């Protein structure tokens, strides 16, 4: 970064500070990861100079021979990785990708059925604070209050009662695998489009550590970061019969030219996900999550559903007598970075809810294993016993930093 350091030393200092922060802390945010040096290089390539409204072979700008090749490469790799009939790699992020699905299949006022936000759903699944909850008639299903698991009988009952245009399977904070065959059967019975949002677990699907929704769903969206370990972007995968509707919804329906440097980085990340070692990464991500979950349960943490079989955990802190936000702030001071989160049956406001969410994608990319998961659980327990003890938090932070120094950071070291 010699040019940046010379031309904008103020910003360069911020970049270096973030590098140091990512190296010295344990990043447990379930939606974050470390990308490879190759993905970073593709993200900062000369494709940032290009504008490419349209699709390969049908652009509204000349000079697209290389941009077309890059986008086609990303599409073909995504098709191969997930077994998809059609792929659109242009959405800027997961939320616009989801909006494109609704735009393709719904009219204002149509009914959609998805997971309740406080039970692990996503804002774009019809939350009242989202455009999706204002534009569409959103109905929500919830987790079983006794088990913390999806209740497919309830989902079927609501689907038959409300006859949604779109049935949504997917989540941002549900720690279990989804039964896509059951969702498909419900969608068929009520005549709905089955839409799977696999943004969180796409990397696990790619690595064979989670069932693949593509054979069951009419349309699947995913971000390209999180467990997939790519840049901040998104993709839509769908049946060929929906290809025209999806492509028109993305462009010109919702956005202009794609971010070509991001498309290039997506292509590189998909190549990495096709390698045999990515399967090991995906399996280890789940294994680490399960070890960490068990270690937390042993220390009295109340995990929604009692554990996890994917990459994330949702913890209800009511029995710890500390709010999610207070806990998240204290944990950050201790060098453990995660986010506060609503939990099923939430009684507090969303800006200071009862829970926290954490995951293992980043720490697994860094090479952490079972021993480090046990240590993280110990540090979390100590932190929540010392949320107002600055000296204790700084002591844990020093221990965290010492451990981090032993593990190289992908893309940075």
Q: Which pLDDT tens digit goes with each residue over 138-174? A: 999 999 999 999 999 999 999 999 999 999 999 999 9
Catalytic residue among 53, 179, 374, 399: 53
**pTM exceeding the 0.85 threshold for the entire prediction:** yes
| Residue 154 annotated as catalytic | no
Q: What is the pLDDT of residue 1?
A: 87
Please list, in sequence order, all residues whose beta carbon lies within 8 angstroms of the beta carbon of residue 170, skipping any fewer than 6 positions away. 114, 115, 121, 122, 125, 178, 195, 196, 197, 198, 199, 200, 221
346-359 pLDDT, tens digit each: 999 999 999 999 99
| Residue 151 annotated as catalytic | no
Catalytic residue among 77, 176, 226, 366: 226
By C-alpha distance, which of 363, 366, 91, 26 is closest to 224?
91
Catalytic residue among 223, 227, 262, 342: 223
Q: How far apart are CA 313 and CA 204, in angstroms?
A: 15
The architecture (CATH level 2) of 281-404 comes to Alpha-Beta Complex (3.90)
Secondary structure of the chain in HEC code, one letter for each residue: CHHHHHHCHHHHHHHHHHHHHHHHCEECCCCCCCCCHHHHHHHCCHHHHCCCCEECCEECCCCCHHHHHHHHHHHHHHHHHHCCCEEECCCCCHHHHHHHHHHHHCCCCCEEEEECHHHCCCHHHCCCCCHHHHHCEEEEECECCCCCCECHHHHHHHHHHHCCCEEEEECCCCCCCCCHHHHHHHHHHHCCEEEEECCCCHHHHHCCCCCCCCCCCCEEEEECCHHHCCCCCEEEEECHHHHHHHHHHHHHHHCCCCCHHHHHHHHHHHHHHCCHHHHHHHHHHHHHHHHHHHHHHHCCCEEHHHCCCCCEEEEECHHHCCCHHHHHHHHHHCCEECEEECCCCCCCCCCCCCEEEEECHHHHHCCCCHHHHHHHHHHHHHHHCCCCCHHHHHHHHHHHHHHHCCCCCCCCC
Query: What does residue 96 show for φ and ψ, rounded to 5 degrees?
Result: -60, -35
Catalytic residue among 80, 232, 287, 395: 232
* Per-residue model confidence as pLDDT tens for the chain (413 residues): 899 999 999 999 999 999 999 999 999 999 999 999 999 999 999 999 999 999 999 999 999 999 999 999 999 999 999 999 999 999 999 999 999 999 999 999 999 999 999 999 999 999 999 999 999 999 999 999 999 999 999 999 999 999 999 999 999 999 999 999 999 999 999 999 999 999 999 999 999 999 999 999 999 999 999 999 999 999 999 999 999 999 999 999 999 999 999 999 999 999 999 999 999 999 999 999 999 999 999 999 999 999 999 999 999 999 999 999 999 999 999 999 999 999 999 999 999 999 999 999 999 999 999 999 999 999 999 999 999 999 999 999 999 999 999 999 999 98
| Residue 226 annotated as catalytic | yes
Catalytic residue among 71, 197, 218, 272: 197
Q: What is the pLDDT of residue 255?
A: 97
| Residue 271 annotated as catalytic | no
Evaluate the omega torsion of the peptide bond into residue 308 and state whether it is cis, within 30 degrees of 0.
Answer: no
- Which CATH fold topology does 40-273 show? 3.40.640
| Residue 223 annotated as catalytic | yes
Catalytic residue among 23, 32, 41, 51: 51
| Residue 53 annotated as catalytic | yes
Exposed (0-12), middle (13-18) or buried (19+): which is 239, by Cβ within 10 Å? middle
Domain spans of the chain?
40-273, 281-404
């Amino acid at each position: 970064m010699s040019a940046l350091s010379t031309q904008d030393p103020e910003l360069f200092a911020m970049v270096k500070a973030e590098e140091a922060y990512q190296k010295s802390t344990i990043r447990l945010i379930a939606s974050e990861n470390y990308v490879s040096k190759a993905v970073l290089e593709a993200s900062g390539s000369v494709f940032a100079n290009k504008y490419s409204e349209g699709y390969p072979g049908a652009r509204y700008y000349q000079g697209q021979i290389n941009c077309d090749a890059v986008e086609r490469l990303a599409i073909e790799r995504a098709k191969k990785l997930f077994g998809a009939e059609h792929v659109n790699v242009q959405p800027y992020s997961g939320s616009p990708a989801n909006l494109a699905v609704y735009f393709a299949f719904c009219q204002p006022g149509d009914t959609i059925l998805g997971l309740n936000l406080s039970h692990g759903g996503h804002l774009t699944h019809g939350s009242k604070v989202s455009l999706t909850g204002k534009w569409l008639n959103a109905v929500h299903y919830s987790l079983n209050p006794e088990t913390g698991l999806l209740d497919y009988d309830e989902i079927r009952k609501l689907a038959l009662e409300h006859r949604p245009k779109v049935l949504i399977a997917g989540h941002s904070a549900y720690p279990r695998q989804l039964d896509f065959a059951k969702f498909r059967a419900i969608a068929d019975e009520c005549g709905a489009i089955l839409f799977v949002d696999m943004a969180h677990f796409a990397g696990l699907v790619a690595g064979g550590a989670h069932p693949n929704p593509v054979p069951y769903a009419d349309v699947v969206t995913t971000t390209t970061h999180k467990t997939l370990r790519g840049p901040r972007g998104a993709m839509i995968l769908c049946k060929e019969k929906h290809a025209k509707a999806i492509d028109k919804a993305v462009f010109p329906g919702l956005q202009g030219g794609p971010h070509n440097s991001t498309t290039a980085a997506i292509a590189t990340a998909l190549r990495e996900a096709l390698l045999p070692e990515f399967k090991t990464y995906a399996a280890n991500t789940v294994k680490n999550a399960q070890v960490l979950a068990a270690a937390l349960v042993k220390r009295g943490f109340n995990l929604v559903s009692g554990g996890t079989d994917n990459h994330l955990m949702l913890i209800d802190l009511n029995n710890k007598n500390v709010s999610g936000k207070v806990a998240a702030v204290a944990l950050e001071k201790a060098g453990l970075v995660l986010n506060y989160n609503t939990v099923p049956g939430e009684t507090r406001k969303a800006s200071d809810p009862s829970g926290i969410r954490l995951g293992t994608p980043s720490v697994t990319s860094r090479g952490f294993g079972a021993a480090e998961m046990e240590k993280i659980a110990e540090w979390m327990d100590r932190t929540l016993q010392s949320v107002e003890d600055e000296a204790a938090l700084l002591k844990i932070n020093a221990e965290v930093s010492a451990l981090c120094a032993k593990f190289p950071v992908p893309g940075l070291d």
